[in-house]
């Protein structure tokens, strides 16, 4: 049994920035690699990434060793990025903290080997020169190598899908320590190189490899079908060896090592090998197989001028604290290779030690010809893992990843406008698929991060969530024959009559008039003149009734006084239409209030207008939306630095009336001037009529959420110009509403980025978002007794079996 103590045999002599000077004379440039999210890439994306790797590497100097190392480690989720202040935040934090997932780190090492010939002996002691060490100087060759690598790295970074960042010396030393300390935590240990296994601390290590061109089947490619999500009507793609990445779900490291050789030298050697095999091919099946493989390689090299011959090595190093589990992990890895038509090599004894020791970045030039396959660079790059875990933003709304159901923060506000220019959003899902549940989840988190919310709701879906914040919310519910207490004409001071206020009131009156000449400048000027005259002459109790009475009183002299002509403004028509809203008019109750009540909403962060009793009356709903708009303009939009969201839930019911769409479009235009966003909730995109107004709304909606829809997503794709991969992602949505971890899946597109996310929540959050059914009624019954929603939710949860 051999024993290696890292402190006595350290492989690094010195580190300058991201450049390692190894004890064996190798110089290694070290980078961390940021990869795209798993499931986010299409077949074309995989091809583009493969092409970028090839273009970056094909011109690197002969003798360069490229070592890509993907480290996958079972880790407990810390929840440190989750907020932990409110009742629901704490419930979410506690629920996910400690959940196991597979952490992935990707590194790329470029080695300028001390021995450029790259002809290592079969068994090389990687620590052999550690006592005196070989320190290669920063001569012209080294500087040229660094410049070449810099060009390759810049090329990859410009491809936008993948980005490199140099490792710093602390990271390099930590990586070295972790590797030779066997990823044990909390103590230092030695490496025990035993005949039948390798033990480092509490972990048993093993390795399985692809070390010969004979291992490969008919072909490799940049991607393959993902059998889990592919169905009869669509194909979902994954990377060619993704089964050895996150999907393996074990502690392991995938090492992909490429030796860039002299194309002409190897072509001659291969031609010689073919000649020898042709003479001996009659002496056995194996010789025929080898001959066929080598002829294929030479054929590819000859027909493609851009080809670059390489020697390569792929291995999977894996470990577990239970030695018995290693055999089951071997079986899993072999099964994955079999799926790829690759027959791997399982090393034992000295070979196993060599493979594990030489898979450390400073030693990856130590593999011998017997450990390497010969192929073309394009072929070898198909064996790259090109995606990683879901990526959390620094801040955002919490969803869950599709791999481990751990929380992922997605910045759907995008303060810096890196992904989107308009942060408006839309939620699409049929009845029963969880639209309001999702909307509750998004809005609650916005609210708790100090965003002001205005919800215009026709379904009563937000009252439980709102009641968790008794001091910060107000629910204004329309009841038949009553008003909302909003008086657009109310002023507390004559100084309130600013040009902006007059513009707003003018628009309000024009909308009430539903005038054909809505955009007529002369009509707008006339109304503003009348309003200024009204406020100058009427000092108190301003209201629509007061304005109506003033105009009726002055109708004979008004035109002459204000220099108005009949074609500018028809006073008779105005009084006739407005008579419906004053006195004994049919809808006069909407404007009866003379004292404005909007001050009640001025300091509220969460304002819910519940209009479910009015949803079938076109006229009342239209006026209600205009009154709400007026209240929003005078209160919420006064502070442009304050973030705000306006949500239209059950939007389809409002869209039955044509003038409602125009009213909503106003919000989309006005929100641009504010630090805010508009959200709409629809059962189907077909509920938006196909016209210029809808097109404008969709164009200004750059965050899309779609839940499961068994009727399909073709219309969604067509009207939102979704890509074919977006459509495949939508079709791959699968919900799981049974078992311990229930979740729904959803498609989220932020600008051009899209993926499938999950929504899994703790019991407390689930109870807060329930919008109907017996459970919701039970919670409300407890609340009516306790008047405390937090207490009601906790009591309800205790009552559950």
Residue 518: its pLDDT value, please? 47
- Cα 256 from Cα 398, distance rounded (Å): 34
The pLDDT of residue 484: 80
Structure tokens at 269: 């050697």
> Would you call 551 helix, strand, or coil by DSSP?
helix
Q: What is the pLDDT of residues 55-100, one digit of tens each?
A: 999 999 999 999 999 999 999 999 999 999 999 999 999 999 999 9
Predicted confidence at residue 359, as pLDDT, reads: 94
The three-class DSSP label of residue 646 is strand
Q: Which of 547, 524, 520, 548 is nearest to 536 (CA)?
A: 547
Edge-to-edge strands of the sheet including 644-648?
407-410, 397-400, 753-759, 744-750, 701-706, 424-428, 676-682, 644-648, 452-457, 606-610, 473-477
User: Rounded distance, CA 483 to CA 609, Å?
Assistant: 12
For residue range 329-380, what is the model confidence (pLDDT) as tens digits?
Answer: 999 999 999 999 999 999 988 889 889 999 999 999 999 888 998 888 999 9
Instruction: Tell me the three-class secondary structure of 522-548, residue by residue.
Output: HHHHHHHHHHHHHHHHCCCCCCHHHHH
For residues 587 and 580, the answer to whether their CB atoms sit within 8 Å is yes
Instruction: Return the pLDDT at 370.
Output: 87
Residue 131's pLDDT is 47
Nearest to 338 by CA among 210, 206, 207, 205: 210
Exposed / middle / buried, residue 581 (Cβ in 10 Å: 0-12, 13-18, 19+): buried
- 10-residue mean pLDDT series, the chain (801 residues): 64 90 91 96 94 94 95 96 94 96 97 74 57 59 91 93 95 93 85 81 94 82 88 88 95 96 70 66 59 69 72 95 93 94 90 91 90 89 96 94 95 87 91 90 93 86 88 86 83 82 85 65 86 89 90 87 82 90 89 74 85 77 82 74 86 69 75 83 89 86 94 93 94 90 94 95 93 87 92 91 75
Cα distances from 770 to residues 437, 487, 504, 651, 767, in angstroms, run 7, 34, 38, 19, 5
Please name the residue ranges forming H helices in 162-262.
Answer: 169-180
Smallest CA-to-CA distance from 488 within 607, 575, 591, 605 is with: 591
Strands 676-682 and 644-648, by their bridges, are parallel
3-state secondary structure of 24: strand
* pLDDT score at 615: 65
Per-residue DSSP letters for 744-792?
A: EEEEEEETTEEEEEEE---HHHHHHH--SSHHHHHHHHHHHHHS-HHHH
Tokens of 569: 């403004």
> What DSSP letter does each residue of 790-801 carry, written as one string?
HHHHHHHHHH--
Distance CA 664, CA 672 (A): 13
DSSP sequence for 417-428: -SS-S--EEEEE
pLDDT of 329 reads: 96
Identify the helix (H) or strand (E) that includes residue 704: strand 701-706
d(CA 321, CA 342): 28
**How many residues belong to the chain?**
801
Number of other CB atoms surrounding residue 59 within 10 Å: 13
CA distance 790 to 408: 25
Tokens read off for 7: 């402190």
> Which ranges of 340-391 does DSSP label H, i.e. alpha helix?
349-357, 377-381
């Amino acid at each position: 049994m051999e024993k290696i103590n890292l402190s006595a045999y350290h492989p690094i002599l010195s580190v300058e920035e991201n450049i390692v000077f190894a004890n064996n004379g190798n110089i290694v440039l070290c980078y961390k690699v940021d990869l795209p999210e798993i499931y986010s890439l299409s077949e074309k994306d995989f091809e583009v990434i493969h092409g970028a790797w090839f273009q970056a590497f094909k011109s690197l100097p002969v003798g360069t060793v490229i070592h890509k190392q993907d480290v996958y480690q079972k880790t407990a989720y810390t929840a440190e990025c989750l907020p932990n202040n409110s009742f629901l935040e704490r419930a979410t934090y506690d629920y996910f903290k400690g959940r196991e997932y597979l952490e992935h780190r990707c590194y790329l090492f470029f080695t300028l080997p001390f021995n450029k010939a790259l002809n290592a002996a079969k068994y090389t002691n990687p620590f052999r020169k550690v006592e005196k060490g070989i320190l290669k100087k920063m001569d012209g060759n080294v500087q040229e190598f660094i410049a070449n690598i810099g060009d390759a790295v810049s090329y990859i970074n410009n491809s936008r899908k993948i980005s490199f960042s140099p490792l710093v010396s602390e990271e390099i030393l930590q990586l070295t320590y972790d590797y030779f300390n066997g990823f044990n935590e909390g103590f230092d240990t030695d490496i025990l190189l035993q005949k039948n296994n390798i033990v480092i601390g509490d972990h048993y290590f093993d390795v399985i490899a692809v070390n010969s061109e004979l291992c490969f089947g008919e072909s490799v490619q940049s991607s393959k079908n993902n059998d889990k999500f592919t169905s009869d009507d669509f194909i979902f793609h994954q990377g060619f060896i993704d089964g050895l990445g996150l999907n393996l779900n074990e502690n392991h490291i995938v090492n992909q090592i490429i030796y860039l050789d002299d194309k002409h030298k190897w072509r001659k050697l291969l031609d010689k090998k073919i000649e020898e095999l042709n003479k001996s091919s009659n002496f056995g099946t194996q010789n025929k197989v080898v001959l066929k493989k080598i002829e294929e390689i030479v054929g590819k090299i000859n027909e493609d001028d851009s080809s670059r011959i390489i020697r390569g090595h792929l291995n999977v190093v894996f470990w577990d604290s239970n030695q018995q589990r290693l055999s089951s992990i071997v079986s899993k890895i072999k099964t994955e290779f079999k799926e790829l038509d690759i027959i791997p090599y399982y090393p034992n004894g000295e070979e196993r030690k060599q493979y594990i020791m030489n898979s450390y970045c400073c030693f990856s030039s130590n593999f011998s010809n017997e450990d390497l396959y010969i192929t073309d660079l394009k072929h070898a790059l198909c064996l790259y893992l090109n995606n990683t875990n879901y990526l959390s933003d620094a801040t955002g709304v919490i969803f869950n990843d599709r791999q481990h159901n751990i929380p992922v923060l997605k910045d759907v506000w995008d303060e810096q406008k890196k992904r989107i220019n308009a942060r408006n959003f839309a939620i699409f899902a049929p009845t029963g698929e969880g639209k309001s549940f999702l909307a509750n989840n998004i809005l609650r988190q916005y609210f708790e991060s100090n965003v002001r919310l205005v919800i215009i709701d026709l379904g009563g879906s937000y009252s439980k969530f709102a009641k968790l914040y008794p001091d910060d919310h107000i629910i204004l519910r329309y009841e038949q024959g009553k008003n909302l207490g909003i008086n657009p004409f109310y002023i507390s001071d004559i100084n309130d009559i600013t040009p902006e206020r007059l513009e707003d009131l003018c628009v309000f009156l024009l909308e009430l008039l539903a005038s054909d000449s809505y955009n007529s400048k002369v009509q707008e000027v006339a109304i503003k003149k009348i309003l200024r005259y009204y406020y100058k002459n009427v000092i108190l109790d301003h209201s629509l009734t007061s304005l109506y009475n003033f105009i009726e009183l002055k109708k004979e002299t008004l035109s002459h006084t204000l220099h108005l002509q009949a074609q500018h403004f028809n006073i008779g028509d105005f009084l006739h239409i407005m008579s419906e809203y004053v006195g004994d008019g049919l809808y006069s109750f909407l404007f009866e209030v003379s004292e404005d009540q909007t001050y009640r909403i001025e300091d509220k962060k969460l304002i819910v207008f519940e209009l479910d009793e009015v949803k079938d009356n076109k006229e009342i709903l239209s006026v209600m939306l205009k009154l709400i708009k007026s209240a929003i303009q005078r209160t919420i939009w006064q502070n442009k630095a304050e973030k705000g969201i306006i949500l239209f839930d059950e939007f389809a019911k409002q869209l039955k009336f044509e003038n409602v769409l125009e009213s909503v479009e106003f919000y989309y235009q006005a929100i641009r001037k504010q630090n805010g966003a508009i959200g709409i909730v629809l059962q189907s995109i077909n509920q938006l009529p196909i016209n210029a107004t809808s097109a404008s709304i969709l164009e200004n909606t750059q965050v899309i959420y779609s839940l499961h829809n068994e009727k399909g997503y073709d219309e969604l794709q067509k009207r939102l110009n979704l890509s074919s991969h977006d459509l495949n992602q939508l079709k791959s949505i699968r919900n799981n509403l049974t078992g311990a971890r229930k979740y729904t899946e959803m498609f989220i597109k932020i600008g051009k980025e899209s993926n499938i996310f999950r929504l899994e929540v703790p019991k407390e959050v689930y109870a807060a978002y329930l919008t109907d059914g017996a459970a919701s009624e039970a919670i409300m019954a407890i609340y009516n007794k306790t008047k405390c929603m937090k207490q009601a939710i906790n009591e309800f949860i205790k009552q559950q079996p």
